[in-house]
Structure 1
Amino acid sequence: MSPKLSACWVALGPLLCSWALALQGGMLFPQESPSRELKALDGLWRFRADFSDNRLQGFEQQWYRQPLRESGPTLDMPVPSSFNDITQEARLRNFIGWVWYEREAILPQRWTQDPEMRVVLRINSAHYYAVVVSQGLLCPGHKLR
């Protein structure tokens, strides 16, 4: 391959990959604009790993139905981060299984007043599988997409 053609692929490759993801239903990283308002949820979140034998205690006891701290001890966990690298606790460092994060957020008033307002939750670094539960965040009739 010629150097000019190679340089063209280096420049166009990421752009074409982004387009391919968008066409497959993926979402490009949103940018703040006059018509798009962003709210970052970075910071400290309440966190707990499900250390039960079957790793399903959180689902069985429905930890998502009440504040996480009411169903047992939690840690303050920075987001974004890798929970395996934050503490010095060996069983968390080597943990594989369900973990629970919880964060309360105040949404801009205009997001909750208009049921036609489209609100999209973008999770940047959930690996493998994620379940998202929303409680009391939206006005009646409003759907989180």
Structure 2
Amino acid sequence: MSLKWSACWVALGQLLCSCALALKGGMLFPKESPSRELKALDGLWHFRADLSNNRLQGFEQQWYRQPLRESGPVLDMPVPSSFNDITQEAALRDFIGWVWYEREAILPRRWTQDTDMRVVLRINSAHYYAVVVSQGLLCPGHKL
């Protein structure tokens, strides 16, 4: 292969990688460093599938305004995982629709005291669409 073609393949490879990152949102996996703190939120979360006929009961009854367990029964669901594969219930195995996850977390003090702190929530595996609601997550003036 000539030097000219090698250079073309290198340039094309970089272009394709850039396009793939742009299509995926462009965020690399973060690494802990002196200037970056990480907080993993994996573990057991409260979980509830919206099994109503229209799959909108959670929004209509505003399940996000109170602890999820107060709106009905919840399961402890490991995150990361695929809820479809965790239980033996056919209703969850074949479920398509809105599901609700809830987790309380204690944040590093610096995140809540420094109003100039940029906090980024990275969701590694939300399929199709996700809505994130935070209650008491940040101090006034913070943006997520």
What percent identity do the matched residue pairs reach?
Answer: 85
The equivalent of 2:70 in structure 1 is 70
Q: By how many angstroms is 1:19 displaced? A: 3.3
Q: Compared with structure 1, are the counterparts of its residues 18 and 35 closer, same or farther at alpha carbon in structure 2 (3 Å cutoff)?
A: farther
CA contact (8 A) 1:45 1:79 kept: yes
AA of the residue aligned to 1:78: P
Q: Distance in 1 between matches of 2:20 and 2:115?
A: 29
1:54 counterpart = 2:68: no
Q: Secondary structure at the match of 2:48?
A: strand
* 1:44 alignment partner, SS class: strand
Which consecutive unaligned segments of at least 5 residues does structure 1 have? none
Residues 73-93 of structure 1: per-residue CA shift (max 9 Å, x gap): 000000000000000001110
Moved over 4 A (4+): 15-18, 21-25
Structure 2 unaligned spans of 5+: none
Q: Distance in 2 between matches of 1:41 and 1:19?
A: 29
Between the aligned partners of 1:35 and 1:51, the Cα distance in structure 2 is 43
Instruction: State the Cα RMSD in Å.
Output: 2.3
TM-score by length of 2: 0.87
Q: State the match for 2:29 in structure 1.
A: 29
Per the normalisation by structure 1, the TM-score is 0.86
Aligned length: 138
For the 8 Å contact 1:46–1:76, the answer to whether it is kept is yes
